[in-house]
Copies of this chain bind each other. A is one copy, B any other.
Amino acid sequence: MSDSSEHPAHAHPRLKQGKGRMEAISDGVFAVAMTLLVLDLAIPFTKGTRGDLLGALVHEWPGYLGFLVSFATIGAIWLGHNTMTEYLERVDPVLLRLNLLLLFFVCLLPFATGLLAEFMKAEGAERVASVSYGILLLLCSVLLSAVWRYAVRAKLVNPDLADDEISLLTTRLTPGLGGYVLLILLGVFFPKISVFGYLLVAVFLLLPFRPTLRRGDRRRR
């Protein structure tokens, strides 16, 4: 590791390709995870009451809410991942593995979303479902942040980046860790309310009017 950071740009020219495939596998997993979320919606209906479809659709609201939260969260992680790889100059073996760990937790999201939809209607079970869902969202956030922090420490990022730009990105790629911890605790007592909280965090992460835009101003000074 320390060897390659002595020759930041030219030491391993081939590892630029490694970055391309890291993006390809990540985009693949993000796309499939987004689309698989919907499978957990489809299942309840096959056993549903045929007569009152509108009532059945309304009755299934926890499933739709979970789908919305999970889609928004995967979307926010994708946006963060996208921003991160824009500034990555090269990859190294540790980064590829940290990224695989992030994808591992993303792959679990459709399962956790299905659990949430299935058990939000049952007393007791909703607590376990909500807390384990929150822990998974937290782990995804921690890993996205860890990938970026490692990249900065191992000098894999674009050397033209100023220090304040890096710290700005570090802030952006640390999405709502505190918020998730609070919501997990809240979920022990009020499972349903915490899911709305996860939605709020996801919406907040997706809002584009944030520090990034100010970056442009800074650079021109």
Residues of chain A touching chain B, judged by Cβ–Cβ distance below 8 Å, are 1, 3-4, 11-12, 14-15, 17-18, 21, 23-25, 27-43, 45-46, 50-54, 57, 71, 75, 78-79, 82, 85-87, 93-94, 96-97, 100, 103-104, 107-108, 110-111, 114-115, 118-119, 122, 124-125, 128-129, 132, 206, 208, 212-213, 216-217, 220
Contacts and interface: CB of A to CB of B under 8 A. Distances in A.
Q: Is the interface of A mostly helix, strand, loop or mixed?
A: helix
- Copies of the polypeptide in the assembly: 4
8 contacts: A3-B216, A27-B28, A32-B36, A35-B110, A39-B39, A75-B104, A79-B93, A79-B100
B93 A42 contact: no
Contacts of A110: 35, 38, 42
A17 B23 CA distance: 11
B35 A27 contact: no
Given A36-B36, A53-B119, A79-B97, 16 more contacts: A18-B86, A21-B23, A21-B82, A27-B28, A27-B31, A29-B34, A35-B110, A38-B108, A38-B110, A45-B115, A45-B118, A51-B122, A53-B122, A53-B128, A75-B103, A82-B96
A85 B21 contact: yes
Contacts of A78: 25, 100
